[in-house]
Structure 1
């Protein structure tokens, strides 16, 4: 197939190119456009015109403003990139001869915290903050256009992955890795939680499946098969580093009291940060597996995390 990938020089885009370049012809669209192995040509955003970019079969829209955990980005930036740019790319798709469109949204468009035990596609979206809100606005635009058009031969997929990781990843996983790498103990071992992750290998497998199989249009959550606790995640990190995990199970009431005090005194550990560090966020991948006709993802959560952490070690 001929494929156009936006944000092709990012973490996910680079991994997708490696996964698809042997069997597909790839074009890129990005704010920078150096040559890239496996990519015929990368265009700039000013080139998003039908008489400039060759006709393709599939458009994968990755380009977006990532979640800023430091909250330093202005809200308008998220809506400029995650909403308005997505509208522009989707309108281009609808006017083109491409048959499939894959939009990378996020589970944060559905929920900041999981209502119940597992986040499924049936949840009524309730995003918190400009990142999730800008993503859900883009989703709503895409769905609105599809509803107006009615039955069509094109297929449109809205992907909501949870935390994506793999070699080259620069996300939140690196922050916890840095803490463990320095030998600092994890003081919140008494809090039992479960969190879902998405291995980049599993994500690339799913995207190729969407490209090559007849999967119905729709919203699909994406995650590995198994959720891990933060304690298990630290154990995986230590296994990759050849270290013994240092997990302290300090009294929960004591830690909650410290967090309450931290909220008053504006300390690093406060109620909100404690909640983020210890809450569960489990995402169902049953719908996408059923659509692809598979029982399990090719890479287990543990295998994928080991590969990611070992890549951090090799980089060091």
Structure 2
């Protein structure tokens, strides 16, 4: 028996495959185009297009579990004229097609890597999201993930296939891209940043901690038909995160103490209120259910996760 990993050439999927390979767990790595996916030759692979029409029969052969990492991801500059329809086509219809075929093939457990965006975009101080919090997604990506979750649990009741949902916040680690990579570059270049007086609290998760939870959920009996939040277990303000990223890079952060209210005003004037929200708002996750139900604790500290992230980037940069 094997484990099918979708999105195996993505940030989370690739890290998960490397972990399974290190643990000598049989797996099959699926991505949109294996020939262009740049996957190690030693991995068993399969083509897997996330659409309602794709035939997953070959990829699901002898699969005991599916870890579904593939998705149409949130993007800063949306090109689709109807983003919600585009997200639903992939993240809902494509996911359900895969899940139906998995259930028909006798797959025992289906793990869905969702997003904390299902819960919402921010939290009030001292009021973190919980796994049972009422969903409040604010963008098409979050809505599509919520709808996929609900449809999967409905399917689980109909077919008996177990479903596990994991909602991570921002994921960082070796090979991270997007905004996190941009912050590392600015810190390395010594760019002064107006982020020295941000007193929010945000939950993050290092890629090694997320992968460890996924591996735990593949066969843990208590994980069946549950939703889990995940984090490093230590919430940081934007200011503290930048300082600790600077330490990991060996480049002390040059932070200017600009009040958060001024940053929020500036971002509105620039037509980018979302930017201030990501930098200044709090987004905390209560992962006590994950700890209590699974007996799981994040094995890698924030500082070690940042050190690994920085070391990988510096090795490539140099």
Q: How does 1:33-48 map to 2 (within 5 A)?
A: 33-34=34-35, 36-45=40-49, 48=55
Asked if 1:123 corresponds to 2:130, the answer is no
- Output the CA distance in 2 between the equivalents of 1:69 and 1:245: 25
* Aligned-residue CA RMSD (Å): 2.2
> Do the aligned partners of residues 41 and 258 (structure 1) sit closer, same or farther apart at CA in structure 2, a change above 3 Å counting?
closer
Q: How does 1:274-313 map to 2 (within 5 A)?
A: 274-294=276-296, 296-313=297-314
Per-residue deviation, 1:148: 4.0
Query: After TM superposition, what 4+ stretches of structure 1 lie above 3 angstroms from structure 2?
Result: 44-47, 49-53, 71-74, 251-260
**Residue 251 of structure 2: which of 236, 243, 255 is its match?**
243
**Residue 218 of structure 1: which of 205, 226, 240 is its match?**
226
- Output the CA distance in 2 between the equivalents of 1:66 and 1:130: 10
**Residue 209 of structure 1: which of 216, 233, 242 is its match?**
216
Per-residue deviation, 1:220: 0.8
Secondary structure at the aligned position of 1:228 is classed as coil
**Residue 176 of structure 1: which of 180, 183, 207 is its match?**
183
Q: How does 1:43-192 map to 2 (within 5 A)?
A: 43-45=47-49, 48-50=55-57, 53-74=60-81, 75=83, 76-114=85-123, 117-149=127-159, 152=160, 154-192=161-199
Secondary structure at the aligned position of 1:29 is classed as strand
Give the TM-score normalised by structure 1: 0.89
> Do the aligned partners of residues 252 and 54 (structure 1) sit closer, same or farther apart at CA in structure 2, a change above 3 Å counting?
closer
Alignment coverage as a number of residue pairs:
306
Give the TM-score normalised by structure 2: 0.88
Alpha carbons 1:118, 1:282 under 8 Å: kept: yes
Gaps of 5+ in 1: none
Alpha carbons 1:25, 1:39 under 8 Å: kept: no
Gaps of 5+ in 2: none
Residues 98-107 or 88-97, more deviating: 88-97
- Output the CA distance in 2 between the equivalents of 1:105 and 1:36: 26
